[in-house]
Amino acid sequence: MSLQGPIVVVADSPVPEVVDSLAGAGAFPIVETEASGFTDAIASIEPAAIVLADPRTARPAVLEALEELLADSGPYVPVIARANGIGTEHIGHVLPVAHDAPVGRLIARLRAALRVRTLHASVLRRVAALEEHGDAPAMPTGDPLDDATVLVCGRGGRYPALVVAVGERTGLVGALSLESALQMLRARDIDGLAIGEGFNRRSVERFIGDLASDPRFRDLPIAVIDDIEGGPDAEQLPNLCVGAGDPTFALAHLIPLVRLRAFAARLRRMMASLDAKGMLDPDTGLRRSDVFFRDLARAVGDAEKHGVALSLARFSLASLTDRRASLDAARIVARLVRAADFGCRDRDGTILVTFTETDQRAAHVVARRIASVLKHTTLAAGHDRRELDPTVTIVAFKSPDTAQTLLARVSRPDCAVAAG
């Protein structure tokens, strides 16, 4: 996509290589300013993006002033900072780029961030249009990092420290091999990937190349703790960070990008909710609870009227009372349910799924597949990070049933089946 401006370049000394590269990439207009006058420049032109092109400008006072200036309800405004990254992970708008990285890396990261700005603007327009009729779902609020999940892949003595460092900031899943990491990336929504030590350099380079060739992972934030040679083009993986053996440096660059990735995922769920006229929960991608219970009553009526099969399943995890674990599980289920089926995250954190035109035997097969994915891709909160073995309860519609009796029966423990 083109770099639609205006783009403000902040630097206390001339940075022709940055300005020329932005112009060559199609950015227009480009406004240059020193740090002492950037607040007036930003307030007067409403920029589409801001580039802190001089590493000396990415100091706390400037970053905090930017945070205040950009804290409004308009479309997301990305800030790209050439900096060492330390400290910038706490400022939501700032995406650090290593100060000695090629300018092409800065351009690619800016282009990726502007894709999120375009998506945010589309969501805001849709919400404004629906609000005129009072039908717009509420936009999720809070720091997207609170709902983010990072996959940590590694082995060796520093792996536990890397897991703790990531787990202190985001949700966490772990993998001890690159093959397991790839399976995890394909099975669930992952907002960032940290690759630690313990792997052959050539294997890591091949793994990074595989990710670069898959469009699904184009904007995935990736931190490689150990140094690698070469690597894909910046446009293929704009959010790749190589830490050259320094986990602190790599994670400082990774965390802001994870926040942006989680924000983009939130926007996509919101767009899906808008497409469904507000029937989907923007937090989970499943139906809203009230919509689910209404549709369940209709499905029961259809089953009774037409004599078709109907099954109801409840998925429970030991730690579903933990908000992050519950949301992770709900989002995985939203990816796995068939088009004809529908589910919701109940108030107690359990997940209900209605299998339409499906008898109990067939529902067992589908539910066990879903439970198996939950078992192997969801971890408990806390330092133990153990796998959670889900409990699945399934009941089938019988002629005297109503929606209320089905819900009552699915809560009975004697209806539970193994996850597999």
Render pLDDT for 375-406 as a digit per residue (tens, 0 to 9).
876 654 444 445 556 889 999 999 888 999 99
Q: What is the pLDDT confidence band of residue 85, given thresholds at 50, 70 and 90?
A: low
Query: Phi/psi at 285 (nearest 5 deg)?
Result: 85, -5
Q: What is the DSSP letter of 379?
A: B
Residue 37 per-residue DSSP state: G
Average pLDDT over residues 125-151: 83
Six token digits for residue 247: 């986990």
- Residue 113 has a pLDDT of 95
Residue 320 has pLDDT above 70, yes or no: no
H or E element, residue 202: helix 201-212
118: Cα within 13 Å, side-chain hemisphere? 11
**HEC secondary structure over 178-236:** HHHHHHHHHHCCCCEEEECCCCCHHHHHHHHHHHHCCHHHCCCCEEECCCCCCCCCCCC
Confidence of residue 242 (pLDDT cuts 50, 70, 90): confident
Q: Please name the amino acid found at residue 263.
A: F
In sequence order, the 6+-apart residues with CB closer than 8 A to the CB of 370 are 315, 332, 333, 336, 337, 353, 392
61 by Cβ neighbours in 10 Å (0-12 / 13-18 / 19+) ranks as: exposed
Question: For residue 157, how many C-alpha atoms fall within 13 Å in the half-sphere facing its CB?
Answer: 0
Residue 219 has phi, psi (to 5 degrees) of: -100, 15
Range with the largest mean pLDDT of 11-15, 156-160, 244-248: 11-15
pLDDT at residue 126 above 60? yes
Neighbours of 328 (CB within 10 A): 25
Which residues lie below 8 Å from residue 303, measured CB to CB, with a gap of 6+? 309, 310, 397
**pLDDT for position 245:** 67
pLDDT over 90 percentage in the chain: 40
Show the beta-strand stretches assigned E in 69-188: 79-83, 94-98, 149-153, 171-175
Angle between helix 360-377 and 323-336 (nearest 10): 130
Give the torsion sign (CA, 22, 27, 33, 37).
negative
Whole-angstrom distance, CA of residue 317 vs CA of residue 299 = 26
Q: Cβ distance 97 to 53 under 8 Å?
A: no
pLDDT of residue 382: 45
- List the domains of the chain with CATH numbers: 4-136 (3.40.50.2300), 144-257 (3.40.50.2300), 284-417 (3.30.70.270)
Largest alpha-carbon pair distance within the chain? 79
For residues 260 and 282, what is the distance between their CA atoms, to the nearest angstrom?
17
Coil, strand or helix: which one is 190?
Answer: coil
Q: What's the whole-number average pLDDT of the chain?
A: 85
Q: Are 33 and 10 in contact, with CB atoms under 8 Å apart?
A: yes
